[in-house]
Amino acid sequence: VVFDRVADVRAHLDAARAAGRRVGLVPTMGSLHEGHLSLVRRAAAECDTVALTVFVNPLQFGPGDDLDSYPRHLDADIEHAAGSGAAVVFAPSVAEMYPEPSGTTIEVGALADVYEGASRPGHFAGVATVVAKLFHAAGPCRAYFGEKDWQQVLVVRRMVDDLFFPVEVVTCPTVREHDGLACSSRNVRLTPDERRAARSLFEALSGAAALVDAGQHDPEAIRRHLTGIITREPLVALDYAAVVRAHDLAPLTEAKTGEARLIVAARIGTTRLIDNLALTTAAPGTP
């Protein structure tokens, strides 16, 4: 069943909870790929009623960002969602989510000002605000997010903890294409040459993780390795590459397995891609 009104999806999910069903929520901006569908499947395995939200949130796009060209495929999304176990799709309009006048936003603090937040001012206030609204529309639930947007996961968890949302945040491993490129709705916009060049992000992450496995724990040396591989690709403009403490993105003096995370962002043509990798003793990319 597809809803476009907050009141209707809320009533539906309230009734599900009243009947003793556990609600799972998968917030997305649509154009579903395997990464999204893995979230839906996980939610369906752990919850009784799964609601997928599809909303391209203008508040999280900056003036130079790709709001207008962001891919939109609602009909296909509804079909894929149902095929993966989501009984409910909530696809509101901008007017429904941000009725005029509307001015309240959520600021999550320092976590939102670095890396993606520094490159995209206002982005995480936009994300936190829309996620808060979606959580209020859905009510108490488990909410599923992909690790590909690592900083977003930290921002959402911070908000949930700080504001006592009755929501359990579940994060799921990044799903990758055959050559390691992280699934993203933006990948379809890459030209064949850009798509080839985009491999360098995962090559850099997995190369740097192997370096750590081989005993290199100096964050600066690891960062140089990441940067070296990405900047070798002429089509890729590196935005940042960093070795950070996984739970708060703080800088590290030593990159320790289990504690550190590698994060990268780059522009390829007009497309901006991000990726990250935990430092674990397992093979890179293994959940």
CB of 188 to ligand PAF, least distance (A): 15
Residue 76 half-sphere exposure toward CB, CA atoms < 13 A: 8
DSSP label of 207? H
- Minimum CB separation of residue 26 from ligand PAF in Å reads 9
Select 159 or 208, whichever has its Cβ closest to ligand PAF.
159
Helix (H, G, I), strand (E, B) or coil at 95: helix
Number of residues forming the site for ligand PAF (CB under 6 A): 10
The residue within the footprint of ligand PAF, chosen from 78, 127, 141, 252 (CB under 6 A), is: 127
Question: Which residue in the list 36, 80, 123, 225 is annotated as catalytic?
Answer: 36
C-alpha angle 71-201-61 in degrees, rounded to nearest 5 = 35
36 is catalytic: yes
Determine, following the binding rule CB under 6 A, whether residue 60 of this chain makes contact with ligand PAF: yes
8 A C-beta contact, residue 151 and residue 159? no
DSSP state of 174: P
Pick from 131, 198, 212, 222 the residue near ligand PAF by CB under 6 A: 131
Residue 152-191 contact track with ligand PAF, rule CB under 6 A, x = bound: x---------------------------------------
β-sheet bridge partners, residue 53? 27, 90
Which CB, 131 or 197, lies closer to ligand PAF?
131
By CB neighbour count within 10 A (0-12 exposed, 13-18 middle, 19+ buried), where does 216 fall?
Answer: middle
Residue 17 buriedness (CB in 10 A; 0-12 / 13-18 / 19+): middle
Binding residues among 6-45 for ligand PAF as defined by CB under 6 A: 27-29
Q: Which residue numbers are catalytic?
A: 36
Residue ranges binding ligand PAF (CB under 6 A): 27-29, 57, 60, 127, 130-131, 149, 152
